Amino acid sequence: MELHNLTPAVGSNKSKRRIGRGPGSGKGGTSTRGHKGAKSRSGYKNKIGFEGGQMPLQRRVPKGGFKNFNRVEYKAINLDTISALAERLGVDTINIATLREAGLLRKSQLVKVLANGAITVKLNVEANAFSKKAEEAIVAAGGTATKV
């Protein structure tokens, strides 16, 4: 066996279909596109949502909802997360900078402390917002809840 007598295995290489090259090719006439209609024409491009001229679904269904552009969005952090973080770091004050360093917040996120979980140690917590129960739980444990 040498380079000049190497050939691919039989049936492994298919020849390209020559479409629209006359009746002798077996693929002349309509060129495998069927008869008439948009899909048989050159330049046809299927547009997303096009339903053949029928009123498309996205135009039949009415618009809905409302997006309040004045909404303030908070990142929710629970009491159990805060107490675990304070225990891990060995600190008695948790503020936004501490939460960012711990990887719980991105740069411009605001924090709201929620009351899921329990807090047993005295902690001074600084955040943008608190739920009523979270604030009560922090104060009941002997700490302070300060809005920044």
pLDDT at 123 over 90: yes
Range of 107's domain? 74-147
Domain contains 116: yes
- How high is the mean pLDDT of the chain? 93
pTM beyond 0.75: no
3-state helix/strand/coil string of the chain: CCHHHCCCCCCCCCCCCCCCCCHHHCCCCCCCCCCCCHHHCCCCCCCCCCECCECCHHHHCCCCCCCCCCCCCEEEEEHHHHHHHHHHHCCCEECHHHHHHCCCCCCCCEEEEECCCCCCCCCEEEECEECHHHHHHHHHCCCEEEEC
Tell me the CATH number at 86: 3.100.10.10
Summarize pLDDT for 39-97 with one digit per residue, the tens: 999 998 888 999 988 999 999 999 999 999 999 999 999 999 999 999 999 999 999 99
Q: How many domains does the chain have?
A: 1
pLDDT at site 52: 86
Q: Has residue 118 been placed in a domain?
A: yes
Mean pLDDT of 104-129: 94
Is 132 among the domain residues? Answer: yes
Whether 19 maps to a domain, the answer reads no
Residue 64 lies in a domain: no
Q: Identify whether 31 is part of a domain.
A: no
- Examine residue 21 and state whether it is found in any structural domain, yes or no: no
86 lies in a domain?
yes
Q: For 103-113, what is the mean pLDDT?
A: 94
